[in-house]
Amino acid sequence: MSREEALHTLKPFLDYVLSIDENNPLYASIPILRELTDMAVNAERAETGPVKKRIHRQYYRLCRLQEELEHLDLKKAKSSVSMGFTVEDFIFSHIDFSRYKEINENYFGKLFAEGLEDFPDAYLWINFRRHKEEIKDLIEKNYKKTEGVYRAKKESPLLLSVMRTLETSLDTVPPFSMDEVMEEQSRITTKYGGSGNKKKIFWLLVSSLDGVVITHNDGMTTKLFVKDSGELAGTFRPADKPWTLILVP
């Protein structure tokens, strides 16, 4: 289904969500639906909510990965491999862990405070044998905010590994999921597309984002598109290099 067809089918639903006054208790209980509606109608003017924030954070991670790739000397990588090291060993040896000693306040808030929510608890447990709340506690206990930066009080292999993962791993949750959208839909009456049409409206919302462009703080843009398989993907351009990721499988 094309974006235009999706918007036409969704019109009663979109009109209703857009009409909800901010003083209405329902307004605060459907942040994802409100943002998706805004993005479907006019992405550039849409307020930044949980969906855009997750997409922005994924872009910041790609920027970091792109930056690291540009500093790798592949000729040296070949010689290292010939000496018995793996490519992963070579890349690991070039990671700048010193960057986690002192982190800008805004960057820390986005990638390491808010960004923790982008990772499933199961993923954190598999990698660190810690639950999300334990990881949060580890970060809060080991960083102190002073003069616009967060400084590490005491480094440890676990802390550095956690910070590295939060900054560069792409194994994140989708910008929005069917479960999240359907939960919010349950608060809307069936007349306007609530409980009776949950899955249909979810996929219509996905289709309505085809071709939507999101602009990041540095002026670079990410273009969303719907694949033939129905998945929502995005083409990011960190350092103007294209990276295409599946966002909603």
For strand 213-215 and strand 102-104, is the pairing parallel, antiparallel, or unpaired?
Answer: unpaired
- Cα-to-chain-centroid distance, residue 230: 19
Hunting for tokens 């639950």 — which residue is that?
Answer: 131
Q: What is the pLDDT of residue 45?
A: 80
Q: What is the pLDDT of residue 102?
A: 96
Q: Are 176 and 248 in contact (CB under 8 A)?
A: yes
The pair of structure tokens assigned to 136 is 């949060």
Q: Are 62 and 169 in contact (CB under 8 A)?
A: no
User: 0.85 exceeded by the pTM?
Assistant: yes
pLDDT in tens, 66-124: 998 887 755 555 554 454 545 455 465 568 899 999 999 999 999 999 999 999 999 99
Q: What is the mean pLDDT of residues 220-230?
A: 96
CA distance 36 to 43: 9
pLDDT in tens, 143-190: 999 999 999 998 899 999 999 999 999 999 999 999 999 999 989 887
Instruction: Enumerate residues 6+ apart whose C-beta is below 8 A from 88.
Output: none
